[in-house]
Amino acid sequence: MIRAVLDANVVVSGILSQKGIPGTILRAWREERFELVTTEAILEEITRVLRHPKIAKRHEWSEKHIAAFVEDLRHLAILTPGELRLAVVREDPSDDRYLECALEGEAEYIVTGDRHLLELGQLRGTEIVKPTAFLQLIH
């Protein structure tokens, strides 16, 4: 089965617009059409973004609902140890966490809209693709 790392913004976009491409990707994961690979650092970023006032106003989830969602991700995804450290994305070093996760979790894809990651195209066999391209791959 395909393994993929989803950028936090893809996950949050999927929550905010369940009918859009990121929402379809989240549903595909729940339907076990691919394995989600993540780390504690990525889960923390998802939590932080979901708690941001502008985002929270749009999804209207309670703190309890956010915590339950992130806990589901933690238990249902492949959680990598987060021990690998890379220095690849000089323009935005925080993007390296996605590369680290993908390599540790042997993911074939990183799904993102992030320009810095997309410019890489791939890293050590992991392809970096936009949500649209990933959706085509899993359908």
CATH number for the domain including 54?
Answer: 3.40.50.1010
**Terminal-to-terminal C-alpha distance of the chain:** 13
pLDDT at 93 over 70: no
pLDDT at 18 over 60: yes
How many structural domains compose the chain? 1
How many CA atoms, within 13 angstroms, populate the side-chain half-sphere of residue 49? 17
Range(s) of the domain holding residue 84: 3-138
Report pLDDT for 102: 94
Report pLDDT for 87: 61
Pairwise CA distance, residues 46 & 42, whole Å: 6
Percent pLDDT > 70 in the chain is 94
